[in-house]
Every structure is written in C-alpha cells, then in structure tokens.
Amino acid sequence: MSRICQITGKKMMVGNNVSHSKRRTKRRFYPNLFDKKFYLPEEERWITLRVSAAGIRNIAKKGLNNALKEAKSKGYINKY
C-alpha cells in the first residue's frame, strides 16, 4: 500500500535537510497517515481507509458519504 491519503490525495513531498553549514541533502516529508475503519450505515458494513489527519477532519466535517464521493470523482480512490 502506498503512502497516499485516500480522501485528500496527500502524498510524500521531497525537500532538503539543511545543516548548520547550509549543506543540503535530500529528504522526504511523509503525510500523517492512519489505517482507520469507518462504518457505512447505508450499506451496513465497515470499510478500512488509509487517511491522513486532514482526511479524518474532512470526513468529520462533510460526512463519510460526501467525502468518499469527492475522493472518487477526483480519482484518489477506486472503490470502497
């Protein structure tokens, strides 16, 4: 499973470690991901999503169904 949020589409970014002497070496910034179970009351089943902290807040704000529909339309998730 790749390190991509299935709701917001957040993924790894690349940047630099900068030392005291300003020497730059490549590093990675990973999103804050969780494997989390959500209950779909319409289908009466549980689904497991890999979501970021921002994705969890998004689901809390919009609701699970609306968040899944948006993610599917943007191509972040194929099926759930």
Give the count of domains, the chain.
1
- So what's the pLDDT on residue 80? 80
Range of the domain at 41: 13-74
**Does 1 or 65 have the greater pLDDT score?**
65
- The verdict on residue 31 lying in a domain is yes
- So what's the pLDDT on residue 79? 85
pLDDT tens-digit series, residues 22-55: 999 999 999 999 999 999 999 999 999 999 999 9
CA 7 to CA 57: how far, in whole Å? 10
CA 28 to CA 69: how far, in whole Å? 30
CATH of the domain at 30: 2.30.170.40
